[in-house]
Amino acid sequence: MLAGRLPWESDDSDDEVFLLYAVGSKREGKWVHELNVKSREFGEFHHLMKQLRQDEVKFKEYFRMSSNQFEQLLSLIKGDDEKKEVNYRESVSAEERLALCLTF
C-alpha cells in the first residue's frame, strides 16, 4: 500500500479482501447462552431440588438446614429479592439464588 492512500484505493487485493471481510462480518450478540436456555431441563438446581425435597436428611446435609428453615429464610427474602421477568431472558428465582448462596 502506498503512503497517503486509503486501503480501498490500494492495488493490493489482500487489503480489499480484508476490508470486505471487516465490513461484511457482524457478530451477533446473544442475551442468553444456549446452555442456559435449557437450564430448567438440564440444570442441577431443577433436578436436585426435587430429590432433596423428598429426603429431609439429604436436604439438611446439602443445605445445612432443614427444609422448614429454608422456607422461613426464603419467605424473609423473597419479596426483596424477586427479579422481574423480561422478554429476552428468564430471571433466576429467589429460591434458586438462596440455594446457590447456601451451597457455597
Closest by Cα among 96, 3, 2, 91 to 50: 96
Q: Which residues of the chain have pLDDT under 50?
A: 1
How is the chain split into domains, by residue range?
A: 34-103
Type of residue at 33: H
Phi, psi of 90 (to 5 degrees): -95, 135
Instruction: Give me the pLDDT at residue 104, please.
Output: 80
Instruction: Give me the pLDDT at residue 56, please.
Output: 95
Residue for grid cell 427479579: 83
How many angstroms separate the first and last alpha carbons of the chain? Answer: 58
